[in-house]
Structure 1
Amino acid sequence: MRLPRPRGPLSARLRHLLLDGDGPLEELDRTAEDRAAAEPPATVLDDHDLQLSLWMIYELSFRGFEEVDDRWESAPEVAGLRAVLERPFEQALRDVTEGWVNRALGVDGDVAEQVFALAEGFDEGPDLSRFIRRDATPDQVRAFLRQRSIYHLKEADPHTFVIPRLTGPAKAHLVELQYDEYGGGRSGYLHHELFAVTLREAGLDDAYGAYIEEADAPTLAGSNAMSLFCLHRRLRGAAMGHLAAFEATSSIPCRRIAAGLRRTGFGDTAARYYDEHVEADAVHEQLAAREICGTMVRAGDVTARDVLFGAAACLVLDSHQSEALMAQWDSTDEQALEAAR
């Protein structure tokens, strides 16, 4: 994968640094500091320049970029910039999830019951999976797959960073869950490989990062939240809460999306990725919420609030991604109607 084109002064200066190894570092730091200080938290999630910059920095810890030296991952300049950008991003996530977290904490029962109650009671944003099942056009399904490819082509990788940060039963259960995500050790069955098949069957490019140029700010924010949680030991509770909410809200939507893929003519092979998640995630939600999050909270390793912060962030960001995509389609439909008049 190659570096994406910049979306503003911050990502432009970061790109210059990664490619040329020099440049106005003080100006880059000042740009990041000014952005972090001036931008209201509510707008951080929609700041394409900031989210792309943070995504580029995180990606150095995953597949990297063809033209960038791998040593930049731990370079002091990059680490400092990452910390500056993470502060407003984390604060924005805390701000938009606070009400949901407080509501979930009021639910009787352990943290697993609170996660499930949060997932069941979350009612913000459009139901994208229902729209795909019933109404989406083939082009809209392809647009959905392109956006989702930003995460699904590295599916499970962020949460794997958490394994060495856990101990005992929670660690064992996370390994168990991740083993399934990686296809039970069978090449070709890894979930990100199954998603690559879906892309190919839809006539799309299955290369890692192929659609980063199309990724909108909400999509990048969703990916960045996982990296933020999973690359920081202090946020391991949020990382596992995110995982629990992700699994708890996946099975039924995946069934609908699989039906939508078949309805729009992409067929069984394209739907296989989603078919796999219908049953797998029904099991994984119990593992993640009860055996991982529940064990961690009972042991005093993390708090219920830590877990619920990650869970609520997963739900809010997924809703935000759905809203952005549906709004884009509504705008396209309106433009088409106007052109037809």
Structure 2
Amino acid sequence: MRRLPPAARGPLSAAVLDLVTAGPPDGTARPEPAGGGDPWGEDHQLALHLCYELHDRGLPGAHPGWEWDVGLLGFRQSLEGPFLAAVRAEAGPVPPLAELVEGMLTATGDGGPSGHLLTEGERWQAREYLVHRSVYHLKEADPQLWLLPRIHGPAQAALMTITFDEYGAGRPERAHALLFARMMADLRLEPSYGHYLDAVPAPALAVVNLMTLFGLHRSLRGAAVGQFAAIEITSPPGAARLAAALARLGAGPDGTLFYREHIEADAVHEQLVRRGVIDELTATEPELAPDIAFGIAAAGAVDERFAAHLLGHWRAGRSSLRSALPDGPGGAGRLG
């Protein structure tokens, strides 16, 4: 399915779209810097996502030369600064790295959205959850690949081992992005990349924007390690809940394979990321420990905002998307 440009959500995202779809860059474009708005807001997060997509799959109708246009990079900086400041404020004082890692290993709770879907979720909520997560999982691990040339030695080797698994460990049909697409199709969702971008709200975009922000900046490589570690260490329990929830709601084998794969894979990755990446990296570069801790705290803060958005809307019987799916609130409870 052919990708279409998303709709702007305000002057910032409109400026990006107008610029990159007008033709190739000529070196003279200088968008007005962002300032004064809400860095968590729809316009700010979409504008940042659009800038980042120029480094990934590109934007429909955009000349590839815009990726490194100086004027657009300056505009992107004006988006990144307020977002990073807002994340730091949301994360608050960051505990020591060892304390954070131990907390992730021993965490208990109701499981957030995955726990809700397991115990009381409905069909429309499960489908919405996959739409939100498609913004990341259809390009699984791509943002973390920016890390590979920025760490070296045993830590780099361990990170490469983890990402090799994310892309199917030599078997293209087992690549996690493809498994997610198959899951979407099983749940009667459109699995093409970027299809639901207009429907996905700012809290979900912020989760992915944080990954790319950390990955693109060498100065934030410690934070990128922390964010990646948070995913790998905490995901097995959530994956188990989601696989069980989708099975409860009638998903077929393709509809649970992605999460079943993550129950086992991320249990192994948790060991690798702790011992092979974090321990090895901090042994040679101990000054990175506070940055890694910040990455973990930042990921948790942004994930909590996303979870609060989902649960707040679902418990009120409202769609959590900007535009509800056809099988929206009030629809049947099972996927079959």
Distance 1:333 1:226, change over 3 A: closer
- What letter corresponds to residue 10 of structure 1 in structure 2? L
- Partners of 1:67 and 1:250 lie apart in 2 by 36
Q: Which 4+ stretches in 1 moved above 6 angstroms? A: 121-126
Aligned length: 318
**Residue 7 of structure 1 corresponds to which residue in structure 2?**
9
- Partners of 1:118 and 1:317 lie apart in 2 by 17
Would you say 1:188 and 2:173 are equivalent positions?
yes
Would you say 1:147 and 2:142 are equivalent positions?
no
- What letter corresponds to residue 327 of structure 1 in structure 2? G
* 1:253 match: secondary structure: helix
**Residue 281 of structure 1 corresponds to which residue in structure 2?**
266
* 2:190 match: secondary structure: coil
Deviations along 1:172-225, one digit per CA (max 9) or x if unpaired, are 111111111111011110111100010000000000011101111111110000
Q: Which of residues 293, 296, 311 in structure 2 aligns to 1:308?
A: 293
Would you say 1:132 and 2:117 are equivalent positions?
yes
- Structure 1 residue 326: Cα displacement: 1.5
Q: TM-score, normalised by structure 2?
A: 0.89
- Alpha-carbon RMSD: 2.3
Deviations along 1:81-111, one digit per CA (max 9) or x if unpaired, are 1111110111111111133x23xx1xxxxx4
Distance 1:302 1:198, change over 3 A: farther
- Partners of 1:217 and 1:302 lie apart in 2 by 33
Does structure 2 conserve the Cα–Cα contact (< 8 Å) formed by 1:115 and 1:245? no
**Residue 117 of structure 1 corresponds to which residue in structure 2?**
102
- What letter corresponds to residue 12 of structure 1 in structure 2? A
Q: TM-score, normalised by structure 1?
A: 0.88
**Residue 271 of structure 1 corresponds to which residue in structure 2?**
256
Would you say 1:75 and 2:60 are equivalent positions?
no
**Residue 260 of structure 1 corresponds to which residue in structure 2?**
245
- Partners of 1:211 and 1:242 lie apart in 2 by 24
Q: Which of residues 71, 74, 89 in structure 1 aligns to 2:83?
A: 89
- Structure 1 residue 116: Cα displacement: 2.3
- What letter corresponds to residue 87 of structure 2 in structure 1? L
Does structure 1 conserve the Cα–Cα contact (< 8 Å) formed by 2:29 and 2:72? no
Would you say 1:44 and 2:46 are equivalent positions?
no
- Partners of 2:133 and 2:285 lie apart in 1 by 35
1 or 2, which has the higher helix percentage?
1
Unaligned runs of 5+ in 1: 106-110
- Structure 1 residue 296: Cα displacement: 1.3
- Partners of 1:247 and 1:213 lie apart in 2 by 28
Would you say 1:18 and 2:20 are equivalent positions?
yes
- Structure 1 residue 25: Cα displacement: 5.0
